[in-house]
Chain A
Amino acid sequence: MSQINRKDGGLINKDKTITFTFNGHILRGYEGDTLASALLANDKHLVGRSFKYHRPRGIVTVGSEEPNAIMEIGSGAYKEPNTRATVTQLYNGLEANSQNHRGPLGFDLMAITDFFSPMLGAGFYYKTFMWPKAFWEKIYEPAIRNSAGLGTLAKQPDPDTYDKGFRYCDILIIGAGASGLSAALTAASSGAKVILADEDFLMGGRLNSETAKIDGISGSEWAKNAVDKLSAMDNVTLMADTTIFGVYDHGIYGALENRSSESREDSKKPRQVNWRIYAKRSILCAGAIERSIAFGNNDRPGIMLAGAVRSYMNRFAVATGQKVTVYTNNDDGWQTAKDLRAKGVKVVAVIDSRSISPVMGIQGAEIFMGTDVIDTKGRRRLKSIKLSNGRTIDTDSLAVSGGWNPNLHLTCHHRGIPKWNEDIASFVPDDKAPPGMSVAGRAKGTMVLNDAIKEGHDLGSSVAQDLGYKASDLEPATTPSVAYNIVANWGVPSGKNRAWVDFQNDVTAKDVKLANQEGFKSVEHVKRYTTLGMATDQGKTANVLGIGIMAENMGQTMEETGTTIFRPPYSPVAVGAFAGRRRGMEFYPTRYTPSHKWSEEQGAVFVEVGMWYRSQWFPQPGETHWRQSVDREVIQTRSSVGICDVTTLGKIDIKGSDVSEFLNKVYVNAFAKLPVGKTRYGLMLREDGMAMDDGTTARLAEDHFVMTTTTANAVSVYRHLQFCHQVLWPDLDVHMISVTEQYAQYAVAGPNSRKLLEKIVDPEHDISNEGFPFMAAAEISVCGGVPARLFRISFSGELAYEIAVPTRYGDSLMRVMMEAGKEFNVVPYGTEALGVMRIEKGHAAGPELNGQTSAYDLGMGGMVSGKKDFIGYKLGLREELQRSDRMQMVGFKPVNKGDLVDKGHSMAGAHLLGLRDEPTTENDQGWISSSIYSPMLGCYIGLGFIKDGLNRKGEFVRAVDLVRGSDIEVEICSPHFYDPEGGRLRE
C-alpha cells in the first residue's frame, strides 16, 4: 500500500507525486518531501545497518545530524555513498539503496558481529591480532577493512561539475529559522547588504515543524511571508539549501550550495557550488539539535528523536507509527505528544524521567513521571518498551528527547570553548566566537521562542548599526511564551543491555565506561579510543550525551569534562566541490608560446614545463622511436642549422642608473663593467650559497638591461629580484618588469645560423662575426621594420643566436625563419635535442641546479668574485661547503661504448661506486644527474656529482642503478664532451 503513514496537511504538495526507488522497490512521495519523510510515509523504518555490529537501524532525526539513515543515492558513476536521507530532497527517479550489509538489508550476514559484541568493545583491536605477526596484513586487516567502511565509492571519474563562487556582504546570517529571519528583517531594513543562508531547501527552520503561532499566524506561514519580503529586497541574497561549513580567518565563510534536487543524469548544471563568502559580520542563528538518552537497546528502528517525530508529522504529514510513546526529560518532549494527538495519532504513553507534575494532559495517553525506559524489543522494528517501574508497553514508535543542544559548532571554529549552562542542561557558546560573529536564538541557548525572535531582531539591527547603517524601525514578531524546563538525563543503568550513545559508530555507554576504566580520561582520549563522535554525523546527536556519561563516571562537572574540538566542515562536503573546475587540463593554467599552433601543425610532441607546453621533438614520417627524431634534430642542427622555441625562458627588463650595481649584488660574477651591446652569463645563488638559477644578462643601453632566467625559475627569480630591490636595497635606482610573455624568443643554432638570419635581419644591422661577435647583443629590426632583440649566445655549443620579437610577431617569425632556412635544410628542434646538446656541452641545468649544489660543486668556483658582496657569498664560504671531498660536477662516459644501448634507459639516477665496492650508503660516492645518448659521441654520456670529482678526471668508477638493474664501468671526465675548446661558437 502506498504512503500508509501519510496524513493531511503539512508543507508538501500533494498535487505533485514523485516516484523513487529504495532497494529496488518503487515508492511514491510528494514534492516537498525528503527521502526520509517519503520512506517513513511508506512505513520504511529499517533503512540501514550500523558500522560495527550491523544492527538494524532506522531514521532518527530530521536533519543533517542524522546518524543512521545514510545510503547510496544514484548508480554507476553518479552513485553518492553515505548520503543522509533526511536532507535529500526527493525528486523523480531518485534511486536510493541501503549500504553496509551483506545480503538483503533485512538479513545482513554481518549481523553475526552483534553476537560477538562482548569481545568487540572499545579498543579491543589494540589488544589482539598481534599473533602470528604476519597475519595482520594478510588476514586480520583485510577482514577488518572489508567489514568496515560504509557506502561504496564509484570507481569511475565523477561525471559532475562543481562551481566555485565568491560573494560579499555586510552581514551573513546563518540559519533561516525564527531568529535568523528576524535578524535578516531588521538588518536588511536598516540598509545593510545581507546574505541569509540555510542548509534546508525550505527556509523557516523549526517554524516549519512547529504549531506555535507567530503574530497570530502559523509559524511556517510567518516564515514564508518573511522570506517573500526579504527576497523582494535588493540588498538581500537568499541562499537556501546552502550549508555554511566553516569559518575561516578575517570573515571568510565556506558555503556549500547543494543543487542536487534532481536526477543528475538529466542535469548539465553544476551539482554543487562552493561559495566563499566575505562578510564583515555574521549572526549565527543555527538553532539547536536534540539529543537522545542512553537506555537499553535504544537503537531500534522506530526509536526517534521527539522533535523529529513532530517534524515528520507537522511538516511532512507523516505519522511515524500507529501507537506512539514519548520518553523525555524536558518540557519540549510533551509538545510532540500534544501535536501528534492533535493530528489524530494514537499516543499510548508519555514517560518523563523527572519527578515533577505532568507538564500537560495528553488525551488517551498513560503518563509516567519519574520513570525511565530501560529496554526495548523488536529486531527490525520497535515492538515494545520496558519501563523502570516494570511495565511493558506495546509501541511501534518511541519519540525520545534528552534535551536540546545549542548548535554552536561554528562558534568554535577558532577554538572557542563551550561553557556549560545548567538551566538548559547543555553547552552554550563562550565569548570567543570567531571575530565578527554574534549568536542569537537557540544556538546561544535562548530556548524560549519569543525570546529567540527578539534576540535575532535586536542583533540584526545592532550589528547593522555597528557597520554604520541606521537602526531598524521594525517591531519584533511575538509568540506566546512557552517554558523549557529540563533535568539532565544521561541514561539509566540497563544491566546487560547495551545503551547506544553514538549510533553510527556503535559506541555504547559501556564503551565510554571501559575507556575511563582503562585510563582514557580526557574527552579527546575517549573520543579516539571509542570512536565516539567520529562517524559521518560527527556526533551531533551523541557527543553531549557521551560527555554526560563520562562526567558521571568520573565524578566531575560537564565543564571539567569539556567537549572535543569542533572543526570544519560543519557537515561533510564533497571533495569535488572543493576542487571545483580544477580538473584534468584545468588543474593548472595552461601557457602556450606564440608558435604553438605552428608546432602543432608540424606534429610536435609536447611536454609541460612550468605550465608551458613546449615542443619535445618533431617526429618525421617513418620515425618510430623518439630517439630517431631527437638524434636527427641534433645532427642536423650541428651540421647546418636548427631552430628552437625558447620563449618560455624568463625575461626581465631592468632599467635605471644603478642596474649594474644591482646585478653585482645578485650574481656571483662581476657585472659592473659589462659594456653596452654585450651579454654575460651569470650564476645566481640563494643566500645560503646554493645555486638558485643561471642565465644571461645583456646590456642594451647604458641604463637598460635584459635578463633571462630558466623556464622553471622565471617566477621565483623575478620575486627574488623584487625582494633584493624593495627590501634589501630600496634606494637603488632600479626598475624592472617581467617581459616573459611580451616577447617570443627563438634559438637559431648551427654553422648556418648566421646565413639564415642574414636573410631576415634588416640590412642596416651588421651581424657578421666581426660586427656582431660571440656574446654580442643588440636591438635590431627584422623583416622590414619589426623590432627585435638579438643575442649571440649559445646553449648548444654551435654558432648560435637567440632572437626575440614582440609576442604578436612570434608565430610569423617562426614561419619566416623556416622558409628562409629551407635552403640550409633547417630543422626545428625540441627540448629533448636541446637537452642532448647541452649535456654534450656540459652545461648545468635543472637536474644539476637542484638546490643542493653550490657554485663550487658545479665547477663554477672560478666565477665567484671575492671582491664584492653578493647574495650567497658569505654563507657559501662555510667550512662544510668548501670541503674538497664534496660532490662536484663532472662528466661520465662508459668504458664500453655499447653499454646501456640495449637497456632502454640512460645512466641518470645511477649512483657511483668504487670498482669493487658493495652498494651501501657508506660506499656511495655520488650520482649521475643527467644522461642522454649522444649521437655525436655514439654512446651514452652523463653529468653527475662525485666526491672530489674535479681532481679525479681519468679515474674509473661504476655507475650502479640497482632499481633498473644496470651496473657499468664509467670514466670520470670533463663535462665538456663535444668541442671542448669551444671553437664552433665563435665561428
Chain B
Amino acid sequence: MSKTRYSAFKVVKEALTGHKGWEPTWRDAEPKADGYDVIIVGGGGHGLSTAYYLAKNHGITNVAVLEKGWIGGGNVGRNTTIIRSNYLLPGNEPFYELSMQLWENLEQDLNYNAMVSQRGIMNLIHSDAQRDAFIRRGNAMLFADAGCEYIEAKEVKERYPFLDMDNPRFPIKAALAQPRGGTVRHDAVAWGYARGASDLGVDIIQNCEVTGFNIENGKCLGVQTSKGEIKAGRVAVCVAGSSGRVMAKAGIKLPIESHVLQAFVTEGLKPVMDNVITFGAGHFYCSQSDKGGLVFGGDIDGYNTYAQRGNLPVVEDVCSGGMAIMPSIGRARLLRMWGGIMDMSMDGSPFIDSTEVEELFFNGGWCYGGFKATPASGYCYAHLLATNHSHEVASAYKLDRFRRGAIIDEKGVGAQPNLH
C-alpha cells in the first residue's frame, strides 16, 4: 500500500503541520492503452466495492471502474443510509446477513471511518396479522443468525416516548427489532471503497461514460466510452437506475423498470431518536443522522422515470405517515428532498449473474435496497467475475429465474415493479 494510514495520530500531526501531508483519497486515472482484465461499468457503491473485493479477495488488480460522472454520485450518495439483514426469504436472508457481517468489519478493513452505526432498526406492529408475519420473519432472521428482538408495546413506549402508541388507526401493539441494523455515512462508503481499491491498483476513471459495447460473435471485448475505446477481458455492468439504458447498448432487455424514490431530511435537531423506526403500515421510516437531521422516506412515486425528481403526492403521503406515528415532527422542517432512480425488478430482488453475451456480466435490480447490500454485492459479484460461479449466498440472483419461476418476492405483490 502506498497510502498513509488514517488515525487520530495522523490527524493531530497534520493539524500541527498545516494539513500538507494529505494525499488524494483515490488516484484519478486515465484509461490504459492495452485495456484491463476487468472493466466495471459504474462507479457507485456496488461498482467500487466489486473492484475492491476483486483486488483484495481474488488478486485481480488490472481493473478499471468507469464512472460517467463523479464516483458515488448515484444511489450510494442519495439514500436513507439504512443497513439491515431482516429479510424473510431464504434466497435473500443469507446474502443480506453476509452484507451485515461485512459492514461490521468494514472500517477496520478499509481504514476509513464510514460511521457504521449499529443503532438498531425497529419495525412497528399494529395488528395480529402483522404480528404473525413479523414473527415468521423474525424466526427466519434467527435461523440465519441475523439476530432479532421482539419488543412488547409497553417497552416500545418506554424506549420511544415520542411515538403515538394509541393512534386510533395504528395502535402500536409490539415491534420487531434487529439490534444489529443501523445506519452508515453513505458517501463515505463510496470513498472508502474507492480508496481501498485504488490502493490495490484499481484505476478509477471519472467522467468516462460508456457509450457502447464491443461485441463480436456474442462475446464482449471491451467498451466504447467518452474517453475512447477500452479493451477488457471481462465487462461487469453495475449501474443501478441506468441498468436498462446501459444494457440496451448490448442489446439486452431486462426484467427491470426504472422508478424514482424520494427521500427527505429535516433541518438539524438535537438528538430525537437513536435508532431506525419503520412504520410499514403508514409507508414511513425514519432515523436521525449524526448531524441531527431526521432522515426519512416511504414509497416510490410509482411511475417509470429516469428524471431524478419526484412529485408532491408522495411527499405528502410520507409526511403524513410521519405525523401519524411521530406527531412531534410536525414542527421539524423538511430541508431537502431528493429523488434517486431505482432499478426495480419484477420480484423486488436483485440479479448478480452472467448474461447471454459472453464476458458481459450484470449486477442490478436492487430496487430501493441497494445501499445495505453494497459490501455483499461487491463481494459476490467479484466472486462471480473471478471464479465464474455464483457465490452461494447470491446463487438465487439469476437473470433467468422468472423463466423458471424461481421468484424471490418478499412482499408477495407479483411482477409489478412499482409495488415492491
A residues near B (Cβ < 8 Å) are 51, 77, 79-82, 118-119, 121, 124-131, 133, 136-137, 141, 144-146, 148-158, 160, 162, 164, 246, 248-249, 252, 254, 274, 276, 413-415, 510, 514, 517-522, 524-525, 528-529, 531, 534-536, 538, 565, 567-569, 572-576, 578-580, 582-585, 587-588, 607-608, 686-690, 692, 846-847, 850-852, 875, 878-882, 906, 908-911, 919-921, 923-924, 927-931, 960-964
Ordered by A's residue number, 11 sampled pairs between the chains whose C-beta atoms are within 8 Å are A77-B328, A144-B290, A149-B271, A158-B328, A567-B309, A572-B266, A587-B282, A690-B414, A921-B93, A921-B140, A960-B139
CB neighbours (8 Å) of A274 from chain B are: 316
CA distance A254 to B170 in the complex (A): 29
CB neighbours (8 Å) of A126 from chain B are: 6, 112-114, 185, 188, 191-192
Question: Is there an interface contact between B139 and A414, defined as CB atoms closer than 8 Å?
Answer: no
For the complex of A and B, 5 pairs with smallest distance between CB atoms: A851-B412, A909-B135, A158-B330, A576-B330, A149-B292
| Sample of 7 further A-B pairs with CB below 8 A, known A126-B192, A578-B334, A929-B132 | A157-B164, A252-B311, A518-B24, A576-B329, A847-B133, A878-B403, A908-B132
Which residue of chain A lies nearest to B406 when distances are taken between CB atoms in the complex? A880
CB neighbours (8 Å) of A136 from chain B are: 107, 113, 115-117
**Residue B212 interfacial (CB < 8 Å):** no
Q: How far is the CB of B70 from chain A (nearest CB, A)?
A: 4
Instruction: Report the tally of A-B residue pairs with Cβ distances under 8 A.
Output: 354
Which residue of chain A lies nearest to B346 when distances are taken between CB atoms in the complex? A688
CA distance A144 to B116 in the complex (A): 14
Which residue of chain B lies nearest to A250 when distances are taken between CB atoms in the complex? B311
Which residue of chain A lies nearest to B8 when distances are taken between CB atoms in the complex? A128
CA distance A929 to B131 in the complex (A): 11
Q: How far is the CB of B21 from chain A (nearest CB, A)?
A: 10
Question: Is there an interface contact between B132 and A909, defined as CB atoms closer than 8 Å?
Answer: yes
CB neighbours (8 Å) of B170 from chain A are: 587
CA distance A919 to B290 in the complex (A): 37
CB neighbours (8 Å) of B336 from chain A are: 534, 538, 567, 569
Question: Is there an interface contact between B7 and A127, defined as CB atoms closer than 8 Å?
Answer: yes
Question: Is there an interface contact between B119 and A246, defined as CB atoms closer than 8 Å?
Answer: no
**Residue B215 interfacial (CB < 8 Å):** no
**Residue B10 interfacial (CB < 8 Å):** yes
Q: Which of A118, A156, A585 has the most CB of B within 10 A?
A: A118
One of B136, B164, B168 near A927 (C-beta < 8 A): B136
CB neighbours (8 Å) of B148 from chain A are: 963
Q: Which of B8, B108, B288 has the most CB of A within 10 A?
A: B8
Question: Is there an interface contact between B320 and A578, defined as CB atoms closer than 8 Å?
Answer: yes
One of B25, B129, B144 near A847 (C-beta < 8 A): B129
**Residue B415 interfacial (CB < 8 Å):** yes
Q: How far is the CB of B98 from chain A (nearest CB, A)?
A: 12
One of A583, A851, A909 near B409 (C-beta < 8 A): A851
Which residue of chain B lies nearest to A128 when distances are taken between CB atoms in the complex? B8
Q: How far is the CB of A776 from chain B (nearest CB, A)?
A: 32
CA distance A130 to B69 in the complex (A): 30
CB neighbours (8 Å) of A529 from chain B are: 187, 191
Question: Is there an interface contact between A578 and B316, defined as CB atoms closer than 8 Å?
Answer: yes
Q: How far is the CB of A581 from chain B (nearest CB, A)?
A: 9
CB neighbours (8 Å) of A118 from chain B are: 15-16
Q: What mask results when residues 306 to 350 of chain B are scored 1 for a CB within 8 Å of chain A, else 0?
A: 011101100110111111100111111111111000000000000
Question: Is there an interface contact between A573 and B334, defined as CB atoms closer than 8 Å?
Answer: yes
CB neighbours (8 Å) of A574 from chain B are: 330-334
Question: Is there an interface contact between A518 and B412, defined as CB atoms closer than 8 Å?
Answer: no
Question: Is there an interface contact between A519 and B28, defined as CB atoms closer than 8 Å?
Answer: yes
Knowing A150-B269, A574-B333, A927-B139, say if A127 contacts B11 (CB, 8 Å): yes
One of A121, A128, A155, A415 near B162 (C-beta < 8 A): A155
Question: Is there an interface contact between B330 and A920, defined as CB atoms closer than 8 Å?
Answer: no
CB neighbours (8 Å) of A882 from chain B are: 405
Question: Is there an interface contact between B334 and A415, defined as CB atoms closer than 8 Å?
Answer: no
Q: What mask results when residues 4 to 33 of chain B are scored 1 for a CB within 8 Å of chain A, else 0?
A: 001110111001100100111110100000
CA distance A404 to B72 in the complex (A): 32
Knowing A51-B268, A517-B22, say if A145 contacts B292 (CB, 8 Å): yes
**Residue B413 interfacial (CB < 8 Å):** yes
Taking CB atoms and an 8 Å cut-off, the chain B residues in 133-150 that contact chain A are 133-140, 142-144, 148, 150
Q: Which of B15, B26, B170, B338 has the most CB of A within 10 A?
A: B15
CB neighbours (8 Å) of B415 from chain A are: 686-688
Q: How far is the CB of A542 from chain B (nearest CB, A)?
A: 15
Q: What mask results when residues 227 to 266 of chain B are scored 1 for a CB within 8 Å of chain A, else 0?
A: 0000000000000000000000000000000000000001
Q: How far is the CB of B190 from chain A (nearest CB, A)?
A: 9
Taking CB atoms and an 8 Å cut-off, the chain B residues in 157-184 that contact chain A are 161-162, 164, 167-170, 176
Question: Is there an interface contact between B331 and A80, defined as CB atoms closer than 8 Å?
Answer: yes
Question: Is there an interface contact between B406 and A150, defined as CB atoms closer than 8 Å?
Answer: no
CA distance A781 to B99 in the complex (A): 64
One of B185, B327, B406 near A157 (C-beta < 8 A): B327
**Chain B, interface residues (CB within 8 Å), range:** 35 or more
Question: Is there an interface contact between B334 and A572, defined as CB atoms closer than 8 Å?
Answer: yes
B residues near A (Cβ < 8 Å) are 6-8, 10-12, 15-16, 19, 22-26, 28, 69-70, 72-73, 77, 90, 93-94, 107-108, 111-119, 127, 129, 131-140, 142-144, 148, 150, 161-162, 164, 167-170, 176, 185, 187-188, 191-192, 206, 266-272, 282, 288, 290-292, 307-309, 311-312, 315-316, 318-324, 327-338, 401, 403-407, 409, 411-415
Which residue of chain B lies nearest to A607 when distances are taken between CB atoms in the complex? B127
Q: How far is the CB of B135 from chain A (nearest CB, A)?
A: 3
CA distance A933 to B221 in the complex (A): 64
CB neighbours (8 Å) of A151 from chain B are: 267-270
Knowing A128-B7, A129-B113, A151-B270, say if A576 contacts B331 (CB, 8 Å): yes
CA distance A911 to B138 in the complex (A): 10
Knowing A587-B169, A909-B132, A909-B138, say if A524 contacts B269 (CB, 8 Å): no
Question: Is there an interface contact between B162 and A851, defined as CB atoms closer than 8 Å?
Answer: no
CB neighbours (8 Å) of A517 from chain B are: 19, 22, 24
CA distance A328 to B24 in the complex (A): 35
CB neighbours (8 Å) of B10 from chain A are: 127-128
CB neighbours (8 Å) of B324 from chain A are: 579, 582-584, 587
Question: Is there an interface contact between B320 and A158, defined as CB atoms closer than 8 Å?
Answer: no
CB neighbours (8 Å) of B337 from chain A are: 567-569
Question: Is there an interface contact between A583 and B327, defined as CB atoms closer than 8 Å?
Answer: yes
CA distance A491 to B25 in the complex (A): 27
CB neighbours (8 Å) of A576 from chain B are: 319, 323, 329-331
Which residue of chain B lies nearest to A79 when distances are taken between CB atoms in the complex? B331
Q: How far is the CB of A316 from chain B (nearest CB, A)?
A: 25
One of B116, B308, B323, B328 near A154 (C-beta < 8 A): B328
CB neighbours (8 Å) of B270 from chain A are: 146, 149-153
Q: Which of B11, B23, B134, B337 has the most CB of A within 10 A?
A: B11
Knowing A153-B270, A536-B268, A587-B167, say if A522 contacts B69 (CB, 8 Å): yes
Which residue of chain B lies nearest to A152 when distances are taken between CB atoms in the complex? B270
Question: Is there an interface contact between B139 and A246, defined as CB atoms closer than 8 Å?
Answer: no
CA distance A149 to B138 in the complex (A): 34
Knowing A79-B331, A128-B11, A962-B143, say if A153 contacts B272 (CB, 8 Å): yes
CB neighbours (8 Å) of B24 from chain A are: 517-519
Knowing A127-B6, A851-B413, say if A141 contacts B70 (CB, 8 Å): no
Question: Is there an interface contact between B267 and A924, defined as CB atoms closer than 8 Å?
Answer: no
Question: Is there an interface contact between A575 and B6, defined as CB atoms closer than 8 Å?
Answer: no
Knowing A81-B269, A158-B331, say if A518 contacts B6 (CB, 8 Å): no
CB neighbours (8 Å) of A588 from chain B are: 169
CB neighbours (8 Å) of B405 from chain A are: 689, 875, 878-882
One of A80, A518, A579, A928 near B322 (C-beta < 8 A): A579
Knowing A153-B329, A686-B415, say if A119 contacts B12 (CB, 8 Å): yes
Question: Is there an interface contact between B312 and A920, defined as CB atoms closer than 8 Å?
Answer: no
Q: Which of A146, A881, A909 has the most CB of B within 10 A?
A: A909
CA distance A152 to B267 in the complex (A): 11
Question: Is there an interface contact between B330 and A148, defined as CB atoms closer than 8 Å?
Answer: no
